[in-house]
Structure 1
Amino acid sequence: YRLSNLVRPSIEATFAGFGLDRGEFDIVSSLRRAGAPFRLTPTELYTSLMIASGSLSHRLARLERAGLVRRVPSDTDGRSLAVELTESGRAKVEAAFRADMASEATFLTHLSPEERE
């Protein structure tokens, strides 16, 4: 918990550089991890992220306005919509992830290989 509090500002600044907050990054990264076609139902998203459906709806609306996700007809239920990562969203989440990993790696530079392990 303490370590998370120490690195959180850096992580949030990295994501902000890509126009994302942490919650939005969680959504687009979940869609990216889902694999092609990078699509999940809202229920799958809020369950895996352990957030309220209302929180998800608000974040999805922002991501949709930014062109990072779109809602598409569900493959299994014609009455519902799934959330799909757009090409722009995929490029952004992959770039944000790479930048975050590079940033977080700098926290380990003062540790020996044994301490890193």
Structure 2
Amino acid sequence: MTKADEVTRILQEWSQSRPDLDFSPLAVFSRLHRVAKQLNRARGAAFEDAGLELWEFDVLAVLRRAGAPHRVSTKVLVSETMVTSGTMTNRIDRMVRRGLVVRTQNPDDGRGVLVEMTATGRDLVDRAVENLTAAEAALLSGMTRAERDRLASLLTKLSVVVSANE
């Protein structure tokens, strides 16, 4: 049996105050919100220990996952990190100054620019993802692999459902 959490108490109080309402959505989203706060703290620490900001990790992670030569268009970076092109330009400028990425000419389009990760960027993102996986594994340590898999499946379904309602 699952141990009660703070949300359980809150939902009981709401149910007593407003028995006419269905609080089952709050049972899900209040817990997600609280878990997200804890996750953000753990992620922030993991990235800070690696010498990166969260947004720098996001950009470098796209480049790292792209495979060698770890180079993509700004359009891909904008799409995958879900920021505006102006925000991405600012981020790339800052990362160039830090030596994490360089801009290169797109060989397929003389006007296009590609963003390529440097060796320094690769070292930092690799350290950050190692820190991240360890931190997130620690957060999930009280769950079995089967429970994690089931939760991941349910969260995937929730993500699809929520996205369809946008």
TM-score (norm 2): 0.65
- The secondary structure found in structure 1 opposite 2:110 is coil
**Structure 1 counterpart of 2:37:** 5
Aligned pairs, number:
117
Deviation at 1:113, TM superposition (A): 4.5
1:21-79 CA-to-partner distances (Å, cap 9, x unmatched) read 11111100000111111101111110222210111111111211111100011121112
List runs of 5+ in structure 1 lacking aligned partners. Answer: none
Letter in 1 for 2:110: G
- Aligned with residue 21 of structure 1, among 53, 64, 70: 53
Mapped pair 1:34 → 2:70: no
- Aligned with residue 105 of structure 2, among 53, 58, 73: 73
Q: CA RMSD in A?
A: 1.5
TM-score (norm 1): 0.90
Q: Point out 4+ residue stretches in structure 1 off by more than 4 angstroms.
A: none
List runs of 5+ in structure 2 lacking aligned partners. Answer: 1-31, 150-166
Distance 2:146 2:50 in 1: 34
Distance 2:127 2:90 in 1: 23
- Aligned with residue 129 of structure 2, among 86, 90, 97: 97
